[in-house]
A and B are shown apart, each in its own frame.
Chain A
Amino acid sequence: MAVIEIDGVRKRYGATVAADDVSLTVERGEIFGLLGPNGAGKTTLVECVSGLRKPDAGRIRVFGLDPRRDRARLRQVLGVQLQQGYLPEALRVGEAVTLYRSFYRDGADPRRLVADLGLGEQWDSPFGKLSGGQAQRLSIALALVGRPRIAVLDELSTGLDPHGRRNIWEIVERIRDTGVTVVLVSHLLEEVHRLCDRVAVLDRGRVVALDTPDALVASEGGGQRIRLRVSEPLDLAVLEALPGVTGVREDDGELVVSGTREALPVVTAELVRRSVTITALRLEEATLDDAYLAITGRATEENPHD
């Protein structure tokens, strides 16, 4: 069942197109990723869904509610963690969560929520004294304190170290496990691949791809990347012509062969046939990074004048 329906949404600020005919649906209980470079229109879309901005055209429904007309009802079921939402420096963790709890009809127990997010010891700490990760977890607590059915999390791991990032990811998975639908805005591919059930790739206001992370990887050739060093110079065209090979390039003395899973035996057989010795070989699974670069790169080529 779709809990968020976005249909033909357009939004522009002056000459900048932030949303260009965006259509997508978010299903109940999934972690849905909005992925894209800075300025792709991710935050604009989230702001339209939250009722903070009115689209120039198109239709948005969240649980069948119009985000602007039915604002008061929407607020009770949609928890939003905005990018750049700070708190007064002197406000303490416990005070903030208790205050935000009082805004909602129904909500979580502030002390338990804070403890669940690993901030139990910071209950009396002022916001200004929190580390980046703690502030981000408090921000999530404020988005969850009204027991929302959908949580929108915008760039939640920005500025965190790898440890803090993993910590936040576990929290997001736990949120989903409690039945909350999560919309995750991110430009971190590792984060999206690890967390999201489906992901929409946005580029300059357009949805340029929408699928599961694995399907996105597969759609862009998927498979593998073979990095190898050989004993003597080799004509790249020889490898390119082989079945299963989708691309060959040289990278700092290494040959990088992209292709399907059949490529490895074919390439090694060809090298043996030509009596070329392989001095080093490394196999890499294609990642979402590759797919993402291919998808957004193609979008740029198709619209070079944007």
Chain B
Amino acid sequence: MTEPIIAARPGPAAWARLTLTEAKLVARDTAGLVVPFGLPMLIMVMNGLGADRTPVPAFGGLPALDAYIVPMTIAMVVALIGIVNMPSFLAAYRTTGVLRRLSVTPAHPVLVLVAQAVVSLVQTVLGVALALALARLSFDLTVPRSLAGAIGVFLLTVAAMYAVGMLVAAIAPTVNAAVAIGLALFFGFLAMGGGFGGREHLPGWLADAGAYLPFGAALDLLGDCWAGLTPEPGQLLALAVTTVLSGAAAAWLFRWD
């Protein structure tokens, strides 16, 4: 009289629906769109308006906009979404019991983490594409001399920033804490990495450290790719190590409720 109970994990349709749902939620979070899209682009435009396209020998003869301002804009978009926006979503899901509610359904709560990561990655790509298109149209931005390298560095940067973001989400007890920790890291990385003016003004050891933190490393590496210079292997390694260590720590420390 009783049908057998058959185990079933959510299939591709459920994954797709969850990702679509996350996308809608991200799109409805207007404030979360304005900052990561608006702030980096605004900084880029202000810098672009004041600059002529004078070649800079240190940048392989490229103007500063191509080899410094645009890489900085890209790194900023990735950092804002990865370290500030995404963790605040995930922390909210934990503290309000969204993850707990999911854990009593056939869907493992890790699904929602994956969906959120996918959606914010799309958001990042969109933000970067917008900035690049604007720079191309308004300021004659050149194509990176090492295009494949630039794409590779971009992906590595995303991995490193997102791993740091996951760690923030893992340890932040509240949404408020997630935003605060995320913003502190974001500003710290920016200040040490050259986001508020050149690193050369910093004390030497601070500048050295900043060059190997995700923002500084991404900025230098993207600039190198634009200029067609050989990227610094130590900085590539730094991004990879950040990804692995932060990712592992996040997986180890993540609290589901």
A-side residues, CB < 8 A to B, are 50, 52, 63, 65, 70, 72-78, 80, 82, 84-88, 90-91, 95, 98-100, 102-105, 142, 146
Contact = CB atoms under 8 A, between A and B. Distances in A.
30 contacts: A50-B104, A52-B100, A52-B104, A72-B9, A73-B7, A74-B5, A75-B106, A76-B8, A82-B97, A82-B101, A85-B98, A85-B100, A86-B96, A86-B101, A87-B101, A88-B92, A88-B93, A88-B96, A88-B98, A91-B21, A91-B25, A95-B21, A99-B14, A102-B18, A103-B106, A103-B107, A105-B6, A105-B8, A142-B105, A146-B106
Contacts of A82: 97, 100-101, 104
Interface of A is mostly: loop
A275 to B, nearest CB: 65
B104 A75 contact: yes
Contacts of A50: 104
Given A52-B103, A75-B104, A80-B104, A87 B98 contact: yes
Contacts of A86: 96-98, 101
B29 interface: yes
Contact of A63 (B5, B25, B103, B104): B5
Given A75-B106, A102-B10, A103-B105, 14 more contacts: A63-B5, A72-B9, A82-B100, A84-B100, A85-B98, A86-B101, A88-B96, A90-B24, A90-B29, A95-B24, A99-B21, A102-B14, A102-B18, A142-B101
Contact of B5 (A76, A87, A99): A76
A270 B97 CA distance: 61
Nearest to A102: B14
A233 B97 CA distance: 58
Nearest to A91: B25
B7 A72 contact: yes
B188 to A, nearest CB: 29
A65 B98 contact: no
B28 interface: yes
A124 to B, nearest CB: 12
B17 interface: yes
Most chain-A CB neighbours within 10 Å: which of B10, B28, B103, B105?
A: B105
A96 B17 CA distance: 10
Nearest to B1: A1
Contacts of A74: 5
A102 B104 contact: no
Contacts of A100: 105
A76 B106 contact: yes
Q: How large is the interface on B (under 10, 10 to 19, 20 to 34, 35 or more residues)?
A: 20 to 34
Nearest to A96: B21
Central interface residue in B6, B18, B29, by most chain A CB within 10 Å:
B6
Interface in B14-69: 14, 17-18, 21, 24-25, 28-29
Contacts of A85: 97-98, 100-101
Given A99-B17, A99-B21, A76 B7 contact: yes
Contact of A103 (B10, B24, B97): B10
Nearest to B14: A102
A77 B25 contact: no
Contacts of B137: none
Contacts of B97: 82, 84-86
Contacts of B148: none
B13 A102 contact: yes
Nearest to A85: B101
A52 B10 CA distance: 19
Contacts of B8: 72, 76, 104-105
Given A82-B97, A90-B25, A90-B29, A73 B6 contact: yes
Contacts of B107: 103
A77 B3 CA distance: 11
A185 to B, nearest CB: 14
Contact of A104 (B18, B101, B106): B106
B231 to A, nearest CB: 40
A72 B10 CA distance: 10
Contacts of A65: 5
Nearest to B8: A105
Contacts of A76: 5-8, 106
Contacts of A52: 100, 103-104
Nearest to B24: A95
Interface in B105-132: 105-107
A146 B105 CA distance: 9
Given A72-B106, A73-B5, A102-B14, A88 B25 contact: yes
A95 B9 CA distance: 20
A63 B13 CA distance: 28
B19 to A, nearest CB: 10
